[in-house]
Amino acid sequence: MSSAEPTEQTGPAVRSHPQHAEHVQHSHHPENAQRPERSPRPAPMPGLAESARLLADSTTTSTALVADALARVEAAQPTLNAFRHLRAEAALAEAAEADRRLAAGERLPLLGVPVAVKDDTDVAGLPTHFGCDGERPPVTTDSEAVRRLRAAGAVIVGKTNSCELGQWPFTEGPAFGATRNPWNTAHTPGGSSGGSAAAVAAGLVPAAHGSDGAGSVRIPAAWTHLVGIKPQRGRVSVHPHHDAFQGLTVNGPLARTVADAALLLDAAAGAHPDDFHRPPAVRASDAARRDPGRLRIALAWRPPLTLTGAGPDPEVRRAVAALAETLARLGHHVEEARPRYGLIGLTFVPRATAGIAEFAARHPEPALLDPRTRSALRTGTRLGGRVVRAARAREVRQHRRIGALFDASGYDVLLTPTTAAPPPRIGTFDHLSAWRTDVTMAAACPYAWPWNVLGWPGINVPAGFTRSGLPVGAQLLGPSRSEERLIALAAQLEDDLRWYEHRPPVS
């Protein structure tokens, strides 16, 4: 932590008024939305790499960038409700200290650059609510990922909203209301890193930290037209948790460009001495500037078995098929294939629910938890212990079976839709039972979670828009420790498609 951090001066919790949020929902008409054009409006806040360059060149100051970010957050909060907490005074003090360091000639990758952190991650001086209602005391120590971001010079402006314990692909709850999608505020930005995704998509901050236990970086990235990286398990420490959600959850970046996501990943990556998983380092930013070469890419439409009969919405399929055609035009060999997922869901459920039970058991007021969370707690308690150990023991066989797509069949990358459906409307999951929530969620988002079971990397890239202007995404998935290849391929796609030129109407 920076010695200049005045943690006692952190700002108040940021909340939106439910009645105002309802007004926003009815004031936007998705039926009339059109495919976004390249915007002629003034440029949004510069991206992560551009902000770092402007600071290093003395073209701007950290104080100016941080003050701008805070003003944007405050202005957008009644509409988007992306943040749970702001650190206004502390962040401005840290920005002033960054300016002094920059003036003295110090250079760090993110020195003075504002970023946001998801509210499942400890930031000293703020509570970690993880989407839950009730009061929590401020934590006294940064998580390892935040410590590394600070060591790279980043200024944390606040903590972004997450659904309760990160369980669902929407960011709504009684503790904070509904976080809304800047492309269409009647729709969710996804979850559970929905606050981070909405903040970056709307240009409130250059980039943000998220976490992904079943697609929680990739799903909101897909639904807000962002790049979202789920790195290899252990690439970014989850300390003070040693093995979050039974090894399913990893930390990762959300950004508008591949270079920005890679830069944030490089800054946050690295292990804590107590971490279980310690993969060798990668150079993500270097990979973003590298030609990926000619790759063999498997395109898979059929998701793992979820008993919902889910397949891709026609508009999702159209967008992902167009992206596959772009890859072929760029010189890659693309063909349809079918990964051997097997009954991987039978090992995912015990690990996921046991993870929820572990976090829910720490809540000081269990009665405040969503009834669906309490249901998951009971299931996870029943499936803990021997069942979870058996589920985790199967991971080695799952690596061999699904990994045969890369090892035996010779593919370099697996391409799938990130979600089966475009972003649902706000309130879609309200008042559903735990079972109906799970079924509805599995039907909309059947593609992302197997890579959490495997612990392997994946990247969401923007795949375009539905006819009503809602973003959808595609996943680039790879075998163990293949981030650099995936990042290089994503950067090549970005150079061709220039998705960062499209901006949402709410910003």
Per-residue pLDDT tens for 396-452? 999 999 999 999 999 999 999 999 999 999 999 999 999 999 999 999 999 999 999
CA dihedral 478, 479, 480, 483 (to 10 degrees): -20
Count helices and strands in the chain by DSSP H and E runs: 17, 13
Quick: pLDDT tens for 376-404. Answer: 999 999 999 999 999 999 999 999 999 99
Whether 121 and 128 have beta carbons less than 8 Å apart is answered as yes
Nearest Cα neighbor of 155 from 63, 84, 240, 226 is: 63
Q: What is the pLDDT of residue 314?
A: 98
Q: What is the pLDDT of residue 506?
A: 74
Quick count: other Cβ atoms within 10 Å of Cβ 306? 19
Q: What is the pLDDT of residue 242?
A: 86
Q: What is the pLDDT of residue 338?
A: 96
Kindly give the parts of the chain with pLDDT less than 50. Answer: 1-13, 15-35, 37-39
What angle, 0 to 180 degrees and rounded to 10, lies between the N-to-C axes of helices 144-151 and 258-268?
110
- SS3 for 411-430 is CCEEEEECCCCCCCECCCCC
Catalytic positions are 118, 192, 216
Q: What is the pLDDT of residue 28?
A: 32
Q: What is the pLDDT of residue 13?
A: 47
Q: What is the pLDDT of residue 305?
A: 85
Q: What is the pLDDT of residue 44?
A: 75
Q: What is the pLDDT of residue 310?
A: 75
Provide DSSP, 318-370: HHHHHHHHHHHHTT-EEEE-----TTTHHHHHHHHHHHHHHHHTT-S-GGGS-
Q: What is the pLDDT of residue 507?
A: 64
Quick count: other Cβ atoms within 10 Å of Cβ 218? 37
Q: What is the pLDDT of residue 36?
A: 52
Q: What is the pLDDT of residue 8?
A: 34
- SS3 for 206-255 is CEEEEEECCCCCHHHHHHHCCEEEECCCCCECCCCCCCCCCCCCEEEEEE
